[in-house]
Every structure is written in C-alpha cells, then in structure tokens.
Amino acid sequence: MAARRYDPDRRRRIIDAAIRVVGEKGIAGLSHRSVAAEADVPLGSTTYHFKTLDELLVAALRQANEGFSRLVAARDGLSDPASDLAAELAALMGEWLSGDRAGVELEYELYLAALRRPALRAVAAEWADDLAGRLARRVDAGTARAVVALVDGICLEALLFGVPYDEGWAREVLGRVIG
C-alpha cells in the first residue's frame, strides 16, 4: 500500500480551484469533478473536504470576501471620528473596483448566488455585517445598514452597467445618507 502524501495546503488549493472554475465557467460549471481537475487532485479529495457543492461555494465566497475585508480593515479613516466618512467610503470603493476586476465580479457572482442557495446566505451577509459594524461606531445602526446598501448598489451598478466609477458622485450621495 502506498504511503499517503501529506498535503496541508490541499483544502486551500481546492478552494482556489473552485474560484477559478466559477470565474471561467460560472457557478453552473462548478462540480466536484471540474474542481478536482482544476486543482489537480483526486476527485475523492474534493468530496472529502467538501461534502456538497454548497459547502465548497461557502468556502469560496468566504475566501473571496477576504480581499474586501482586508481593504476595510486597513482603512483607519473609517473609525477615525475626525475623518470624512463619506470620502473614506468613496475612496475604499474606488480602490476595490480599480483592483482585480475579475475578482470583484467573481465575489459578486458568489454573493448573488445566495439568492438561490440558502446555504450561502450567512456567509454572503458577513461582509455587509462587518462593514455595518464598523460604520456603527460612527453613525447609528440604521444609517450604517443604509450606507452598506448604498455601497453595494454603487458597486453593482459599476459592475453590471459598465459605468465608470465616479468617486466624487459616490462621496456626495454617501454624504447625503450619512448626514
């Protein structure tokens, strides 16, 4: 009997492969078999680490969310009471949207998949809850949720309609909501 190969990064490689498969073929193209082929691992490895495709999608969405969460965490101005919160958020969106566009589109594709896949809903809400929690240190909870919805809408509009992101306009409308 052959010795089992120690592969501590296999789970992460499977998640990375799932993200690439969804990026290339959409969620409809995701299967344990397509991910195993992309990750160059045996099919049994994908089903060992992720019993269902929903489990794999949850892990992929959580990993995709990490990029936005890092940007939010790095932006000290969001918690600084002396900063212009609307300007900070507008700059944050600009930085995110001007980065890896394919990654942002993929994150939204996974995020919107929660409409049809209830297993994804909790993780889809994580980034919104995190941002709302950070904003609630500066504004009331209701305003924080409204701002998160506006940020989401502005980003979706830029992605869906191919309109260039207008940081000045975003700062203005965010300022109206923030008050």
Count Cβ atoms below 10 Å from residue 141 Cβ, excluding itself: 11
pLDDT mean by block of 10 residues, the chain; 179 residues: 64 93 90 95 93 92 84 86 95 90 83 89 89 94 96 93 92 97
- Which positions ≥6 away from 108 have C-beta within 8 Å? 155, 156, 159
Boundary of a domain, candidates 28, 51, 74: 51
Q: In terms of domains, do 91 and 170 share one?
A: yes
pTM above 0.85, yes or no: no
pLDDT of 165: 93
Where in the sequence is the domain holding 106, given as residue range(s)?
63-178
Q: In terms of domains, do 106 and 130 share one?
A: yes
